[in-house]
A and B are shown apart, each in its own frame.
Chain A
Amino acid sequence: MAAVPSTSPDDEQSTPTRPQDEDEPLLDVSVLKETARKALIDALNSVNGAKTLVLDSSLAGPLGLVTEVALLKHHGVDKMFWLEPGPLTATTTNVVYLCRPKIGYVKTIADQIKRHARESQRHTYTLFLVPRASTLVTRILEEEGVLGDVTLATYNLQFIPIADDVISLEHDNAFKEIWADGDETIVYNSMQALTTLQSHFGIFPRIVGKGDYAARLAHLVTKNLPTTSVDNSTSLLRSLSEKMDCLVVLDRRVDLVTPLLTQLTYEGLTDELIGIKNSHVELPVSLLNPPNAQNPPSAPSTSSAPPPASSLTKEKKRKHHLTTATDPLFAELRDLNFSAVGRKLNQVARRLDEDYKLRHQAKTVAQLRDFVGKLGGLQTEHQALRLHTGLSELLVPHTRTDIFNKALEIQQNLLASYDVNGQVAAIEELVAQGADMQIVLRLLCLASILTGGIKAKTLENLKREILQAYGYNHLPLLLTLASPSLAALLPNPLPASASTALAGASKFPYTTLRKSLRLLIEDPDPLEELENDISYVYSGYAPISVRLVQCVAQKGGVISNPAGEKDKKIAASDQSSGRTRVPGEVPKVQAHPIVGWKGFEDVVASIPGETVDIVQKVPGVSESGVPTVSTLMLPKERPTTTVVFFLGGCTYTEIAALRWVGRQNIGRKFLIATTGIISGVSMMESLADTELASGTSKDAAS
């Protein structure tokens, strides 16, 4: 083993935080991207000749992750427009609309077509609906009298890989649609997407879930198997998956607490404070362009989504695609607690500096050539470092503000159930100071959920404060938050006439969960010590959702810190062997097979919402317990992937936490599937139907 290349100590340290674990390949989800891309090309090619593409803006982001503008141009797209109310000037005969089947969009399309008809412009219209056609669209086109002019077709865009281990439907409003509107469309679409996933990788041997809608989805997935396998186009639907051992479905209602909290990982905090949309973040151009223009190849791949029609922001901003594919540094940073990011950047900077210095050691021509060969990589890394340093610098002032820190403090106190009345008073003070409405509402909902309701009189006063400070037009939002389906902002005690559903939903057993799921690590040690537990991501709080996943996939991790006791032993042995312990290195444990909720039945049952645990059988081969046995055997034999599906969206921080869990095991990887990435901000905004922005102080200033 003499030939082992000498790696710098820094290198060694960074390995545990790297997501790509050498030994076990994940499911190759890029096939999903390829499918989506091919379907898009097929859709475009089905319309002959040059075409004007009109895009629903909520699709632009997702499409940007699948394809690039050049590809569209290559397939005959002449010009692109946003689907917006108002006239459409198309130069080509073919007009292709691509949108989700939303009533508003369809009405806009109908208007544009009618306008063209009045101006006697002749166009051929094709409407691609994503992900599938809808009777509703047909009906509205019919009511508007343009059904005959439009050719309807579908573009089935389902899961999009947004990272190696994350696939998303990129459906932003799923949470609002399910729990505020009661529109279950996304549940059905999720079922179809999961079925597609099964057709690629085989049937999930087991489906475990929590939450009413999660149960509905789980039942839909099982119910729809036999019918889809009839058209035997997808033979994999006839066999249990060998690569996946379980699907864990969680609906957002089960854990409303987590998204309400301020995310503290690098990626999560960026989403909270700057906003990440479809993996793209808007950054000042100066940050994205390398200062010396001599190395353009190192420029990150930017704005693969079509540029917005009107960008009237003061400082020029550009969209940057946050991806680990072109930016390995991001892979190291994204899941770190923000407090550790500075240190990490520093480390990388030093390493980079050393690498550059290597050129002085290059003596022979061959060595020099080696160095020049590495130069491109170094420059890319250099640019990435610059970008992330700049981005962190953008974040830091936000984290220094009074309001941000006060909000954090209130959250931590509420989580610890410490002086609840005082926290409510603090929230009211935030209202007076003119904090963002979403911050106030998130804290208020948090208080309500964690403590089982806010005192009726207090709540009324607070609501009045909010309405006066931010506008009376937010009354419907408050009503929505109090509705039985959400039950996020309730008085205590409930009014006598409240329905039983509401009463049931209001009893979130937070205090017992805190103990049984070890949610809060009291008196956290310095963060490095915490790194082994998922509570690291929230500086001391472990997300309920992820703990629930652990209940299924890593039972030991729920009960105690997996590194806990062993830590000391390792530390001891490290000392004896003279090796410094690498912070964050986890003693890996072989993953145990999936046995459902076993061991946590009572805890899980105490959370409102249905509990599911289904062992799937291959249709046709419905013999007794045979498949179960084989699933029990599986994980021992070969590494498997557990798919975790968040119905209603998940946060970047939850993803980070799940990655931590994945790293603590041998033999099990997680594939995180979600309807979309959410944050407390986006959740509140979608509930408010995006009217929130008008009430925030941010926009009042502009």
Chain B
Amino acid sequence: MDVEHPTTTWEALQDGNVFYRKQQVYSIPGKLPHFGDFVVSGCRYGGPIALMRDTSKVTVLGGGSTAFAKAQIQVYSAAGEGLLLFSWDQGKIVRFGWTGDERLVVLNEEGTYRLYDLQGDYQQYSLGSDAAELGVIDARIHENGLVALTGSLSLLEVKGWEGGKPLTLANPGISQPPYSWTVIPPDLTVSRHVEVLLSVDSTVYSVDNLESTDQRLSRGPFSHLAPSPNGKNLALLTSSGALWVVSSDFQRSLADYDTTKAIGVSGQVRQVEWCGNDAVLVTWDTMALLVGPFGDTLQWFYAGPTFVITESDGVRLMSPDTCEFLQKVPTSSVAVFRPGSTSPSAILYDAWEQFIKRSPKADESIRSIRPELATAVNQCIDAAGMEWSPYWQRRLLNAAKFGKAFIDLYNSTDFVDMGQTLKVLNAVRFYEIGIPITYTQYTQLSPAQLIARLTSRNLHLLALRISSFLGLPSSAVLKHWACAKIARSKSTATADSELEDDVVCRSIVEKFEKLGGASVSYAEIARKAWEIGRTDLATKASALLDHEPRPSDQVPLLLSMKEDKLALSKAVESGDTDLVYHVLLHLQKRMALGNFFRLIEEGGPNLAPARNLLQVYAREQNRDMLRDFYYSDDRRVESAVLSLSEAASMSDPTSKISAVKAAQKFFSEDKERTFEAKMMEESARLLTFQQQLEKETDGKTSFFGQSINETLRTCLINGMSKRADKLKSDFKIPDKRRLIYVSMLERFWYVKLYALTEIHDWDGLDAFARSKRSPIGYQAFVKHLVEKGYHKEAIPYVARCDANKRVDLYVLCGDWRQAGKECKDRGDKAKLEELRGKCPNSLIARELETLASSMK
């Protein structure tokens, strides 16, 4: 058998209870430079590694490898294939690392950081001017953000990779840089916020954005700090070489191991990294030492310095000759392959082997595990996923298939899925692709992410095949492909570029239509074309942009291509007011005001919503612009209203009056608005009159800004009835022909009635009532007084009301006796009876009775 048995790579720990296995994934002799001279950073989930010359170390000039006159970063796949090489022209790099979606973050001492994808395109962001001033001396980069240590030893956190504003964490209050430090990413902490651990003196400070806590340790300083992949535990290496594992809240000490005692230790510790969540790997230049949870160890020797990358289920180890994966052997593999295992899966596997050999023992074995057969099958499927070699994968799946046949109603979904997944995994593990991803990591990463990783390596065909194999939408791959295609076609000569554009455009659209990439964002592709200077392609291939169903993607691009009108109308069409604002504000900034107005005005009714929004915005934020806008368009009424709304917010009398007058002027310029102009004229007159009134009362009573009714009332309450009369006659309506409409006079009567009642001026009220025949009748007097609770005062006015209403009005006033008398006077016996039925007490009832009897 040329394929070696899985257990050959196993090594036992804890008295043979636990096994670790170290498998060679790729053989890469001479493909990678000497790690000792480089700063290295690796990406998880089988991602690439990035290397940069470590300038703090001396190197032999012309020693075989390339000369590094300037800063260069090289990126290699896990299989040692060069993926990218770029040089760095900015300030000194302090740290680089990988994001979760496989982009390389490079941060320099000025606080500028770039995100490179594997094609060498980048976005650049900055940590802000403060960071630039203080300088950044170090940083820790995790998958969803980074924490930078500034020159003043404060910590800045950036969340996400969208160029968000850096957040200052609590000040640890240290006076010199920590010996070492690390961060626990936010998704792994209890608080869901990033936590920074700094080794200071003999202790560790843990810092988040609220506070800095001294953990009060005495074993420091620590030269290495490493959080476990699940963030629960922490590995610390003291300067004396003791490895100490604690829970990340420093409450439980888990293991303690003196690394100096290990055989063959020499020189500095290179790295302390976790192997999965339960063992720690410590590496020296030529040695790697695995320390298990109970202090038992395994060790390996290498020809030169190594680099290790923690994975969630193990650790990847890049040595000069090999790329290896070290992990705790998964339980399912142990169950199947462990020597002497009697687990159902082991027996199932054995049975299958017997079956292949046509031995009758197979039947016997199957029979013996009948009740647990389903478990056995599942375990075999799982174990297949854990194997690297297709040979063993196939054998285990065959065993599972064999076992499956003995079960009624077995759901084969898992089996089929595993078969599919393994096909994908084997494909991407192939050395030319170079993504050594395990099944566990694959399930964590998600298939879509894996496909994204392939497309970012320009492996579109493979990505497309995998996505169609797994039944995933192919749009993302197609989009990336189209962008790459456009970028690639850039180099063609300009002469026949037009022809070239057509070809590219057609090939893209064709491909999309053929592969059903209906949901592809054409806008992004068009943007790509635009960004690299292929405007023609982007616009002329408005074929591209017109295919775009999402205005939110389309509009910004149109705007940046200066297709202003189109952008605006598309935005309006979308109904998304925010998008309209986006365009409006952008244009307002960029264009001359006149042109801006013209653009909006000429749009006709279609752009009406945009016009309205502009007004809403300008009314609150930019009144001058609004005034210009109305003026330029001869909108008199709107100008007047604007002027009025300004008047409303003014407190200074003079300017208020002049604002009202301005409104009047605007109205008078429109011949349809004579009424409004007249009203404004009255308004200004009233304001002036009120000003005068205030002067007369030495400012003790305020009148300014009241309505005519209120002014009348204030006058009357303050005993200025002369002025009230004047006001009444000044603002009387001159039209004499009105017949059915009440006039100013009637309103005046009501106001005066209310006012006099309010100040309890009963004599005044009486005089007023007698002054003239009331145009509002006297019933109004009675009703109002009763409503305000002055029943007694109301009674005298009843006599003046219409005869047929008096009885009820008296009742309203509570004067039953008078009501009864009224009935008697009018000889209305029935009404009297009715009163008697309703009256409140017997006393009155009796009186009414007497009245009634006297009527006969």
The residues of A with any CB-CB pair to B shorter than 8 Å are: 45, 48-49, 93, 103-104, 107, 124, 132-136, 139-140, 143, 148, 151, 181-185, 187-188, 191, 216, 220, 226-227, 230, 401-402, 421, 425, 428-429, 431-434, 458, 460-465, 467-473, 475-476, 479, 495, 497, 691, 695, 700
Contact B675 A471 (CB under 8 A): no
Question: For residue A188, which residues in chain B have a CB less than 8 angstroms away from its CB?
Answer: 575-578
A497:B707 contact, CB within 8 angstroms: no
Chain B min CB distance to A238 (Å): 13
Residues of B with Cβ closer than 8 Å to A?
A: 128, 164-165, 167, 191-193, 208-210, 519, 549-550, 575-579, 581-582, 585, 608-609, 611-613, 615-617, 620-621, 637, 641, 644-645, 647-648, 660, 672, 675-676, 679-680, 682-683, 686, 705-710, 713, 731, 733, 735, 738, 740-742, 744, 746-747, 750-751, 754, 776, 780, 783, 787
B160 to chain A minimum Cβ distance, whole angstroms, is 11
Assess whether A473 is in contact with B648, with CB atoms less than 8 Å apart: yes
> CA of A476 to CA of B679 in the docked complex: distance in angstroms?
12
Give the Cβ gap from B157 to chain A, nearest Cβ, in Å: 11
Is B191's CB under 8 angstroms from A48's CB?
yes
Contacts of A148 in B (CB 8 A): 128, 165
Q: How far is the CB of B395 from chain A (nearest CB, A)?
A: 37
Q: Are A402 and B731 in contact (CB under 8 A)?
A: no
Chain A residue nearest to B193 (CB atoms) is A48
Which A residues lie within 8 Å of B680 (CB)?
472, 475
Given A134, A226, A431, which contacts B747 in the complex, CB threshold below 8 Å? Answer: A431
- A434-B577 contact, Cβ under 8 Å, with A48-B193, A181-B615, A468-B731: no
Do the beta carbons of A434 and B578 come within 8 Å of each other? no
Assess whether B637 is in contact with A227, with CB atoms less than 8 Å apart. Answer: no
User: Are A472 and B679 closer than 8 Å at their CB atoms?
Assistant: yes
- Chain A CB within 10 Å, residue with most, of B617, B648, B747: B747
Q: In angstroms, how far is the closest chain B Cβ from the Cβ of A141?
A: 11
Contact indicator A402/B549 (Cβ below 8 Å)? no
With both chains docked as a complex, state the minimum distance between the C-beta of A505 and any C-beta of chain B, in angstroms. 14
In the A-B complex, list the 4 residue pairs whose CB atoms are closest, starting with the nearest.
A182-B612, A472-B683, A471-B707, A103-B620
* B92–chain A nearest beta-carbon distance, Å: 26
B575 close to A434 (CB less than 8 A): no
8 Å CB contact of A461 from B576, B660, B741:
B741
Contacts A48-B208, A460-B675; A475 near B709 (Cβ below 8 A)? no
Complex: chain A residue closest to B589, CB-CB: A139
Complex contacts, B578 vs chain A, CB 8 Å: 132-136, 185, 188
| CB of B610, distance to nearest CB on chain A (Å) | 10
Inter-subunit contact B621/A140 (CB<8 Å): yes
Residue of B nearest to A456 (CB): B675
Kindly identify which residue among B549, B582, B609 contacts A135, using a CB–CB cutoff of 8 Å.
Answer: B582
The reply to whether A464 and B733 contact each other, CB–CB distance below 8 Å, is yes
B585, B676, B742: the one contacting A429 at CB < 8 Å is B742
Pair B709/A468 contact, Cβ less than 8 Å? yes
Q: A135 touching B750 by the CB < 8 A rule?
A: no
Bound together, the chains give a CA A188 to CA B578 distance in angstroms of 9
A432 touches B679 (CB 8 A): no
New contact pairs (8) apart from A429-B746, A473-B644, CB-CB < 8 Å: A135-B578, A135-B581, A135-B582, A148-B128, A182-B608, A458-B741, A465-B742, A472-B686
Are B585 and A135 closer than 8 Å at their CB atoms? Answer: yes
Whole-angstrom distance from the CB of B154 to the nearest CB of chain A? Answer: 13
Cα distance A469–B787 when bound, in Å? Answer: 21
Q: By the criterion CB–CB under 8 Å, are A465 and B747 in contact? A: yes
B682 touches which of A185, A227, A458, A472 (Cβ 8 Å): A472
Closest Cβ–Cβ distance, residue A214 to chain B (whole Å): 13
CA distance A423 to B705 in the complex (A): 31
Question: Which residues from chain A contact B750 at a C-beta distance below 8 Å?
Answer: 432-434
From DSSP, what is the main secondary structure of chain B's interface residues? helix
Tell me whether A495 and B672 are in contact (CB under 8 A).
yes
The answer to whether A428 touches B577 (Cβ under 8 A) is no
* B617 in contact with A103 (CB, 8 Å): yes
The residue on A at minimum CB distance from B707 is: A471
Nearest chain A CB to B467 CB, angstrom units: 14
> What residues of chain A lie closer than 8 Å to B751, measured between beta carbons?
434
Verify B612–A475 contact, CB threshold 8 A.
no
What are the residues of chain A within 8 A of B164 when measuring CB–CB?
A: 151
Q: Which residues of B contact A187 (CB under 8 A)?
A: 575
Residues of A within 8 A of B613 (CB): 182-184
**How far does the Cβ of A332 sit from chain B's closest Cβ, in whole Å?**
32
Distance in angstroms from B494 CB to nearest chain A CB is 37
* Max chain B C-beta neighbours (<10 A), residue from A45, A136, A476: A136
**Which residues of chain B come closer than 8 Å to A136, judged between CB atoms?**
578, 581, 585, 617
Given A140-B621, A182-B609, A473-B648, A432-B747 contact (CB < 8 Å): yes
CB contacts (< 8 Å) of B644 on chain A: these are: 473, 475-476
In whole angstroms, what is the CA distance A45 to B190 when docked? 12
Chain B hits for A226, CB < 8 A: 519, 549
| Contact (A434, B582) CB under 8 Å given A181-B612, A461-B733 | no
* B707 pairs with A468, CB closer than 8 A: yes
A183-B709 contact in complex given A135-B581, A425-B740, C-beta closer than 8 Å: no
Q: Are A479 and B637 in contact (CB under 8 A)?
A: yes
Give chain A residues whose Cβ lies under 8 Å from the Cβ of B209. 48-49, 124
What's the nearest-Cβ distance from chain A to residue B603, in Å? Answer: 14
CB-based contact B648/A227 at 8 Å: no
- In the assembled complex, the CB of A209 is this many whole angstroms from the nearest CB of chain B, namely 15
A498 shortest CB reach to chain B, Å:
9
Q: When chains A and B are docked, how far (Å) is the Cα of A275 from the Cα of B709? A: 26
Residues of A close to B519: CB separation below 8 A:
226, 230
Please list 15 pairs of residues, one from A and one from B, whose beta carbons are closer than 8 Å in the complex, sorted by A's number: A48-B210, A143-B621, A151-B165, A182-B612, A183-B616, A184-B575, A184-B613, A188-B575, A191-B575, A226-B519, A226-B549, A425-B741, A461-B738, A464-B679, A469-B707
Closest residue to A421 on the B side, CB-wise? Answer: B740
A472 touches B707 (CB 8 A): yes
Q: Nearest-CB distance from A517 to chain B (Å)?
A: 30
Q: Which residue of B lies closest to A49 (CB)?
A: B210
Query: In the complex, what distance in Å separates the CA atom of A151 from the CA atom of B165?
Result: 7
Instruction: List chain B residues, Cβ under 8 A from A104.
Output: 620
- Tell me the smallest distance from the CB of B218 to a CB of chain A, in Å: 29
> Which residue of A has the minimal Cβ distance to B678?
A464
Q: Which residues of B contact A45 (CB under 8 A)?
A: 192
CA distance A151 to B686 in the complex (A): 50
Report chain A residues within 8 Å CB of B577: 183-185, 188
| Distance in Å: Cβ of A229 to nearest Cβ of chain B | 9
In the assembled complex, the CB of B274 is this many whole angstroms from the nearest CB of chain A, namely 26
Residue of A nearest to B673 (CB): A479
Which residue of chain B is the closest to A501 with respect to CB atoms? B605
User: A433 contacts which chain B residues (CB < 8 A)?
Assistant: 750, 780
Shortest Cβ distance from A226 into B: residue:
B549
Write the chain B residue with the least CB distance to A229: B519
